[in-house]
């Protein structure tokens, strides 16, 4: 268990993973340790054949979907890679496993009109309403991850250039741009709402909670949940849905895939390619308007 604690510290302080990702890794590894304890196995002496039975346990006993099994194996593969690096084990048995094929799921996103309804619900006469509006506008304008959003500090923002320096996964920096709507919402929040939330405190963080402390990932999710309850939309909402909407709408308006990749901060374009499946309306529109024999 001491190795697990060291690994969590490694993810937090060296890999700069979000708190939600770290918690997910921790839960998966802890569940694995409980399985090993029941089976009388030592995590430092695991072999490939042991893992075959572990896979059977996940699929047959736990009844997990392929996507959940793949996530757990990926977390454990990373954990053992760390153990090899720290000379705790000699080899990474999980590297020999083939991940089960994930069920393909298209990313969920909002239509333009649905987002417009969301943008109308905040009470801009209150500090929290001003914050919520700035938060939503910035999420949609930049497509940043929720962990990146709550990590923004005032010094990261260049208002004249309308860019924000973002520290993404693996401590990789990138610049994201924001437009007129986000700039206006941020100006109102910085000029009024944020000062009221801050009170007599000092803070360099952009987004604050009602106590004037840095807003956390869960706080953002709660804010979005409360916002969608004020609309007529019968949909769940998450920060990642806003991110999906950002990418999908860019592609629908003709933006190329490689540019969207850079804006999202994806290391590889393969991670961005999933969004090509949700732009069929755009493709049909282009086809019927430009192919000479599409219509009589």
Q: Which of 15, 65, 240, 282 is catalytic?
A: 240
Q: How far is CA 128 from the centre of its chain?
A: 23
Q: Catalytic residue among 15, 165, 183, 266, which?
A: 266
- Cα separation of 142 and 140, whole Å? 6
Given 145, 194, 244, 249, which residue is catalytic? 145
Question: Is the Cβ–Cβ distance between 103 and 67 less than 8 Å?
Answer: yes
Q: Which of 77, 169, 183, 282 is catalytic?
A: 169
Active-site annotation holds for 102: no
Catalytic residue (one of 131, 243, 244, 249): 243
145 as an active site residue: the answer is yes
Whether 140 is a known active-site residue: answer no
Q: Is 240 a catalytic residue?
A: yes
Q: Which residue has the tokens 């804010």?
A: 223
The tokens for 295 are 């219509």
Under the phi-then-psi rule, with left for phi > 0, alpha for psi from -120 to 50, and beta for the rest, what region is 254? Answer: left
Q: At which residue do the structure tokens 């890794």 appear? A: 25
Q: Which residues partner with 205 through β-bridges?
A: 153
Burial (CB count <10 Å: 0-12, 13-18, 19+), residue 197: buried
Residue owning tokens 């007529």: 232
Any idea what DSSP says for residue 106?
A: P
Collapsing DSSP to helix, strand or coil, 117 comes out as helix
CB-CB contact of 276 with 257 (8 Å)? yes
How far is the C-alpha of 235 from the C-alpha of 114, rounded, in Å? 10
Catalytic site positions: 145, 169, 240, 243, 266, 275
């Amino acid at each position: 268990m001491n190795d697990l604690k060291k690994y969590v510290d490694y993810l937090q302080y060296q890999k700069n993973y979000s708190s939600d990702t770290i918690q997910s890794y921790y839960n998966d590894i802890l569940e694995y340790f409980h399985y090993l304890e029941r089976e009388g196995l030592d995590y430092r002496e695991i072999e490939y054949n042991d893992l075959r039975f572990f896979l059977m346990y996940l699929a047959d006993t736990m009844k997990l979907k392929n996507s959940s099994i793949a996530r757990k194996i990926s977390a454990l593969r990373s954990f053992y890679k760390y153990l090899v690096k720290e000379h705790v084990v000699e080899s990474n048995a999980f590297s020999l496993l083939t991940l089960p094929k994930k069920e393909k799921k298209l990313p969920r996103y909002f239509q333009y009109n649905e987002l417009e309804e969301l943008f109308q619900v905040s009470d801009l006469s209150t500090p929290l309403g001003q914050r919520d509006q700035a938060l939503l506008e910035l999420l949609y304008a930049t497509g940043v991850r929720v962990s990146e959003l709550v990590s923004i500090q005032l010094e990261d923002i260049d208002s004249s250039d309308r860019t924000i320096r973002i520290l993404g996964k693996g401590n990789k920096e990138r610049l994201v741009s924001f437009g007129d709507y986000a700039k206006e919402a941020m100006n109102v929040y910085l000029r009024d709402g944020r000062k009221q939330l801050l009170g007599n405190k000092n803070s360099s963080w952009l987004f604050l909670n009602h106590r004037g402390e840095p807003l956390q990932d869960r706080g953002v999710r709660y804010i979005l949940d409360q916002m969608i309850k004020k609309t007529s939309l019968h949909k769940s909402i998450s920060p990642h849905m806003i991110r999906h909407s950002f990418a999908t709408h860019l592609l629908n308006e003709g933006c190329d895939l490689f540019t969207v990749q850079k804006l999202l901060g994806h290391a590889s374009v393969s991670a961005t390619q999933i969004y090509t499946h949700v732009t069929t309306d755009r493709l049909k529109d282009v086809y019927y308007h430009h192919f000479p024999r599409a219509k009589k």
